[in-house]
Amino acid sequence: MRAQQIWRWIHRHGVTDFAAMTNIAKEQRSALTAGFVLQRPQIARRQESADGVIKWLSGFAPGVEAETVFIPDVGGGGGALCVSSQVGCTLNCSFCHTGTQALVRNLTAAEIVAQAQVARDDLGEWMAAGGERRLTNVVFMGMGEPLYNLDAVTSAIDVLADNEGMAISRRRITVSTAGVVPMLRSLGERTGAMLAVSLHATNDELRDQLVPLNRRYPLAELMAAVRAYPGLANSKRVTFEYVMLRGVNDSPAEARALVRLLAGIPAKINLIPFNPWPGSPYECSEPGTIEAFAAIVNRAGYASPIRTPRGRDILAACGQLRSESFKVRASARPRVDSAV
Ligand code: SAH
C-alpha cells in the first residue's frame, strides 16, 4: 500500500519532494528524503520553435546530455513526445545528424522516464484530466537505437504505461528501429509497443550505404522479422519510415519496389522529407517528387502520409538531434584520487 502511494505521488502527480507526500507519515518521509532523490535532470537548454515544437537538452550527469522534443497536435488532438534512448549513436546512418556523434552511453530507464517528466512539468499537466492532456503519445525516435538498449527501454515503457502513473497506453508508444533483427521479437513480446522501422531504401546496395546496419541484417532478414512481429494486424500496423533524399531513393521505380517489398504486411509508410543539418551531404526531394512517390504507394493500398517537417528552425526535426557530449577516455579523465 505504501509503495503504491509513493508511486502515485511520483508518477501520477509528479512531485519532486518527499515532503509533499502528505499521506505518508512524517518519519517515513524523512527517511525517504535521507535515502533517495527525486531530482529532475538539469535542463541545459530549452527552445521553442515558431510552430510550437519544444526541445529540451537534459543533462543527466556531467557530459551526459540528450535531447527530447515535444510535437504538439500530431492529429487526434494529442501531441507526441520524442524521447532519446542513448546519448549519441553507434549506427552512423549517412543522412542522420545524431550519427555524427559517437555513442557516449545508454540512458537508464529512469533517465528515459525523466524526459517525459520534464515535458509534463513544462506543459503543466500533471493534474490535467486525460481528455485535456497534450502529451498523449511517446515515440522512441530521438537520439540512439532503442533496440541496443532494450532492457532500459522496456522498463521505461512499463513505467510510462502504468495505469497508476502517467498511463500512456502502449498503443500510443512507438519504438523506432533501424532494424536490429534479433531484438524485434523480444521488443514486441516484452513491451507490446507499436513498431516503426527506418527503411529508407528498397535494395541492399543502397540501404548498405544509407543505414550501414543493413550490412549485418540485410533486407530479406529484416522483412521476415517484421512479418513475424508479435501482434501485427490491420489494427496494429507497422510504420515504415522512408526519408526522401533527392535523386537517391525517390524515383517512381523505387516507390513500386517499396510496394513489392511490403506485400502482405499491415503497414503504413511515413514519408519524411529529408531535414538538413550543418554539413549534411544530401538534399530533400522536390515536393512534386514526394507527392508522386506517395501516390504510387497510396494507390497500392497503403496509407502514406508525408510527415510535415516540424521544428526545423531549432534543429528539432527528425534526424537533427545531437548533443555536444562525448565519451571521455578513462586515461583522459581528471584524476580525483591523487596522493595527498
Ligand atoms: N535509431 C532509431 C531511432 C531514431 S528514429 C531508428 O533509426 O529508427 C529517427 C528517424 O528519423 C529515423 O527514421 C531516421 O532514419 C530518421 N532520420 C534521421 N536523419 C534524418 C534526417 N536528416 N531527415 C529526416 N529523417 C531523418
Grid cell listed for 136: 498523449
Q: What is the DSSP letter of 239?
A: E
- What does pTM read for this prediction? 0.94
Query: How many Å lie between the centroid of ligand 1 and the Cα of residue 240?
Result: 11
Q: Which residue has 502504468 as its cell numbers?
A: 162
How does strand 78-82 pair with strand 64-75? antiparallel
Q: Can you list the positions of beta strands (E) in 182-279? A: 194-198, 238-244, 267-273
Where is 175: in which H helix or E strand? strand 173-177
State the catalytic residues.
Answer: 67, 318
Positive or negative, the CA dihedral 126, 127, 128, 130 is positive
Q: Whose CA is nearest to atom 8 of ligand 1?
A: 177
Q: How many helices (H) and strands (E) does the chain have?
A: 9, 11
DSSP, collapsed to helix, strand or coil, labels residue 164 as coil
Q: Whose CA is nearest to atom 7 of ligand 1?
A: 178
Q: Residues 85, 183: contact at Cβ < 8 Å? A: no
Q: Residues 17, 38: contact at Cβ < 8 Å? A: yes
pLDDT in tens, 49-69: 998 999 999 999 999 999 999
What size, in residues, is the chain?
Answer: 340
Ligand 1 atom having least distance to the Cα of 282:
22
pLDDT in tens, 14-43: 999 999 999 999 999 999 999 999 999 999
Query: How many Å lie between the centroid of ligand 1 and the Cα of residue 85?
Result: 13
C-beta pairs of 45-48 under 8 Å, 24+ apart in sequence: 46/122, 47/314, 47/316, 48/314
Query: How many Å lie between the centroid of ligand 1 and the Cα of residue 235?
Result: 24
Quickly list DSSP for 287-328. Answer: HHHHHHHHHHHHHTT-B-PBPPP-SGGGT-STT----S--PP
What's the mean pLDDT when you consider all of the chain? Answer: 93
Residues with Cβ within 6 A of ligand 1?
A: 93, 95-96, 141, 145, 176-178, 198, 241, 243, 272, 274-275, 318-319
Longest CA–CA span in the chain (Å) reads 75
Query: How many Å lie between the centroid of ligand 1 and the Cα of residue 129?
Result: 32
pLDDT in tens, 284-337: 999 999 999 999 999 999 999 998 888 888 998 888 888 888 876 655 655 544
Positive or negative, the CA dihedral 159, 162, 168, 173 is positive
Q: What is the DSSP letter of 240?
A: E
Pocket test for ligand 1, best of 318, 320, 321, 322 (most atoms within 8 A of CB): 318
User: Rounded to whole angstroms, how far apart are CA atoms 197 and 195?
Assistant: 7
Q: In whole angstroms, how large is the CA radius of gyration of the chain? A: 21
How confident is the model at residue 318, as a pLDDT?
87
Of 146, 155, 121, nearest to 135 by C-alpha is 121
Q: What is the DSSP letter of 248?
A: T
